[in-house]
Structure 1
Amino acid sequence: MVRSAPELAPEVAAALEAFLQYLDLERGRSPHTVRAYRGDLTGLLAELPRPELAALDLPLLRRWLADAHATGTGRSTLARRAAAARTFTAWAQRTGRLPTDPGARLESPRPRAALPAVLRADQAADLLDAAGSGAAENDPVALRDLLLLELLYATGVRVAEVCGLDVDDVDAGRRTLRVVGKGNRERTVVYGVPAERALQRWLAVGRPALARPASPPALLLGTRGGRLDPRVARSVVHRAMTAVPGAPDIGPHGLRHAAATHLLDGGADLRHVQELLGHATLSTTQLYTHVTVDRLKVVHDQAHPRA
């Protein structure tokens, strides 16, 4: 049974909608983030003891998080809810909807930086070799899937970013892509010779076979000629991983992890990897240094005589 969203008082509902428009239009947050904040804040505002925004205070915020923790809500979700509440109350004070900012003193547990499962370099090579064999007959879908895998691993872009690419975003002469990431931030990423070959075959043979008169200028197309859906792209990656014995079942984000880790393993500078991945802060990229150190410890334990 699907639970309906709680009904908010008109003043409160209007404030929430104005805040969500602010996130979308001024902050450039993704539709996924806006949906998550809507769900979090609707639940919070439904707890107001009076039908007015002024009833939102720090004890209510703390009780809201405590109740969620008591029901088993995970640390990452609690952290996101606290961030949503803090962003909302700060905005509400700036816009005169609250006299003070009760969220300024709200604390939340830090999400644990879990080490992701990482594809080994040889497994990545096996994955792309298998995809290349599947595209040997120039089947347009197989050519598209090969290019998708090559670009995800070569550049470390997010799945939504690669599906959002247009043909004009490709600079074939420089082997670069113009990518629009989170917060509508634009960056340039580079790709290598194998991805270049896959791109040339796709543009020459695969894309013309799938394109329709009404097709958008998207680089990657679906079987009906529309822009490739990220959900389809995720399915492609998961299905392709089954061709690599012993490899973890990863999706597009797993290839992003692999690209970053293999770059750092190969001696790339952390700042360069940050720029490639489109991370706003270096601390996010530093997760991959933890991964490489963790792998180094495993190798040391296995190989060193005095480990």
Structure 2
Amino acid sequence: MRSSFPPLSCLLAFEAAARRASFSLAANELNLTPSAVSHQIAKLEQLLDVRLFERSARNIALTEPGREYMSRVSLALDAISTATDNVRKGVRNALHLHSAPSFASLWLMPRLADFARQHPGIALSLSSSPTHSDFATGQVDLDIRYGVPNWPHLHVQPIFEERIQPMVSPAFAEQHRIETPEDLLQMPLIQSVVNVVQWGDWFRGRRVQFAPGQYAYSFDRTSMALDAAVQGLGVACDSSSIAADHLNQGRLRKLFDDRWCVKVQAHFLVCPQRHLQRPEVANFIEWIRTHAIDAEGAASGGA
């Protein structure tokens, strides 16, 4: 039993008033009187022993605890609304997936048609942002995260081993004579600031002195850094797995063979342990692992 769960009527009144910044507008939306809305919110504040709104004769404003509570309550109510809509529409076997943006656009999206063919009964909902999912809201079944894994109390499973290496467009390679790692110091380098492995890590592996900050372009997305390399703006140092479509279609090429790459595990399937019992989650994990094995084999090809 969720003994700490406030009455839903109080939460609805609070969310509407916070969103509309008005007890009167919230009352109109909920078909209540303003005094009823005010009573529900006062009851919620008493239960929480926290003041959620600053009140004046003309307006209301969320307190700092109120803003924090609103951010979580609105997500939880959205999850309830989505679940209700799915039931009404007869949607079953729904899978709510969240992913790091570049992985979603460059690696996952080109393969989703195969998942749909193999699992036509699963309704997939995909969202993407660099912020990790908060499983407490109940909105996400499975999260694909990028970074150094430090997520206690969650199931964490690496997707594949990535090879980080310099890549350029064919036109750039033809215009510039690049034969050694030292040659790159004279080239316009493209940085993806969010990458686990940076240019300095790659140069250290080759025992080449590199001064941080020697970048012609910096981006906060791998997808943009790779697009810049495709456009011939310079040399990107990134995952050949994530850049697989660019490499396979000839938009990019590796400058050196895989002996000169940095190997890392940086993309992970993350979820609460209990989610693994859901067939939709288990099916997706099995499907993505099959594709990941193929991707690892393809990424290990030569320059």
Provide TM-score, normalisation by structure 1: 0.30
Bigger relative contact order, structure 1 or 2 (CA pairs below 8 A, ≥6 apart): 2
Please identify the structure whose Cα radius of gyration is greater.
Answer: 2
The TM-score, its normalising length taken from structure 2, stands at 0.30
- Higher share of residues assigned helix: 1
